[in-house]
């Protein structure tokens, strides 16, 4: 069960800031509906003085924009494991959510076994290096462009995700129209700054053989510290 925060009160905001001091997300090792639940409670962006909350908020905001929720006033309906601060009666009488409701924004699915294993390995490595200075992380949004409208975009994404290296974790992706029937791949990735150079990743891995059979060029759309 995820923690509960009243983000519109100063005490609740400070509680959330302390909670996120050693965490990247509200629960687990990747963004989930718990993050969306807390995000949707904010009427305005958090102040920069709450550095941990601001860092987390900007990261979730970037994921929402990647998923098409960008315009002001576009609401997000959230199903989460967070239990609101209500009476037992209110909870018992709450109607069950309809799994087929198309208005739900399901950006982050359940973790796969491979993702869980990778998360456990990262946690073990982090614990083993507690004596070392903690390295920063960044969230990066890439545009990956094909050669033409005949490029197999499924193969292109497979070529991107096939690139594995320590400190690199691929995230959500979607196809975006460019023009003349051509689409580009937008994909999120989380990197450990001391281990992964985005420029090197692009120049030495994405734009060389065999990936360049499908990839014509790559551009950095957004780069945020987390």
Q: What is the CA radius of gyration of the chain?
A: 19
Q: In this structure, is residue 109 part of a structural domain?
A: no
160-195 pLDDT, tens digit each: 999 999 999 999 999 999 888 899 999 999 999 999
pLDDT at 132 exceeding the cut of 60: no
Residue with the bigger pLDDT between 2 and 175: it is 175
Q: In this structure, is residue 81 part of a structural domain?
A: no
Instruction: Report how far Cα 30 is from the mean position of its chain's Cα atoms.
Output: 7
Last residue of a domain, one of 52, 67, 82: 67
Q: In this structure, is residue 97 part of a structural domain?
A: no
pLDDT at 93 exceeding the cut of 60: no
Measured CA to CA, the distance from residue 146 to residue 123 in angstroms comes to: 35
Q: In this structure, is residue 122 part of a structural domain?
A: no
Domain with 54, as residue range(s), is 10-67
The predicted structure's pLDDT at residue 2:
59
* Burial group, residue 60, by CB count within 10 angstroms (0-12, 13-18, 19+): buried
Q: In this structure, is residue 131 part of a structural domain?
A: no
For all residues of the chain together, what is the average pLDDT? 79
Q: For the ranges 32-41, 50-59, 97-106, which has the lowest average pLDDT?
A: 97-106
Region 204-224: what's the mean pLDDT? 92
pLDDT at 19 exceeding the cut of 70: yes
Q: Indicate the pLDDT class of residue 75, thresholds 50, 70 and 90.
A: very low
The 3-state secondary structure of the chain, one letter per residue = CCCCCCCCCHHHHHHHHHHHHHCCCCCCCCCCHHHHHHHCCCCCCCCCCCHHHHHHHHHHHHHHHHCCCCCCCCCCECCCCCCCCCCHHHHHHCCCCCCCCCCECCCCCCCCHHHHHHHHHHHHHHHHCCCCCCCCEEEEEEEEEECCCCCCHHHHHHHHHCCCCCCEEEEEEEEEEEECCEEEEEEEEEEECCCCCHHHHHHHHHCCCCHHHCEEEEEEEEEEEC
Q: In this structure, is residue 108 part of a structural domain?
A: no
Q: In this structure, is residue 163 part of a structural domain?
A: yes
CATH number of the domain to which 188 belongs: 3.30.70.60
pTM: 0.42
The predicted structure's pLDDT at residue 4:
76
Sign of CA dihedral 94, 97, 103, 106: positive
Last residue of a domain, one of 67, 93, 110: 67
The predicted structure's pLDDT at residue 69:
56
Instruction: Report how far Cα 35 is from the mean position of its chain's Cα atoms.
Output: 10
Last residue of a domain, one of 49, 67, 85: 67
**Count of domains for the chain:** 2
Q: In this structure, is residue 56 part of a structural domain?
A: yes
Measured CA to CA, the distance from residue 50 to residue 15 in angstroms comes to: 10
């Amino acid at each position: 069960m995820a923690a509960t925060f009243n983000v519109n009160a100063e005490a609740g905001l400070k509680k959330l800031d302390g909670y996120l001091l050693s965490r990247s997300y509200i629960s687990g090792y990747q963004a989930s509906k718990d993050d969306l639940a807390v995000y949707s409670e904010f009427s305005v962006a958090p102040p920069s003085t709450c550095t941990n909350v601001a860092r987390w908020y900007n990261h979730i905001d970037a994921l929402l924009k990647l998923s098409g929720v960008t315009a002001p006033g576009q609401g997000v309906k959230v199903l989460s494991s967070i239990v609101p601060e209500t009476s037992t009666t209110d909870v018992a009488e709450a109607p069950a959510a309809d799994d087929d409701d198309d208005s739900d924004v399901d950006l982050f699915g359940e973790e796969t076994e491979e993702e869980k294993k990778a998360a456990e390995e990262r946690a073990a490595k982090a614990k083993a290096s507690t004596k070392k200075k903690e390295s920063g992380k960044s969230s990066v949004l890439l545009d990956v462009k094909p050669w033409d409208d005949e490029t197999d975009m499924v193969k292109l994404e497979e070529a991107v995700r096939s690139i594995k290296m320590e400190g690199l974790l691929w995230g959500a992706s979607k196809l975006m129209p460019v023009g003349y029937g051509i689409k580009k791949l937008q994909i999120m990735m989380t990197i450990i700054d001391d281990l992964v150079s985005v420029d090197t990743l692009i120049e030495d891995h994405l734009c060389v053989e065999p990936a360049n059979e499908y990839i014509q060029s790559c551009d950095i759309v957004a780069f945020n510290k987390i």
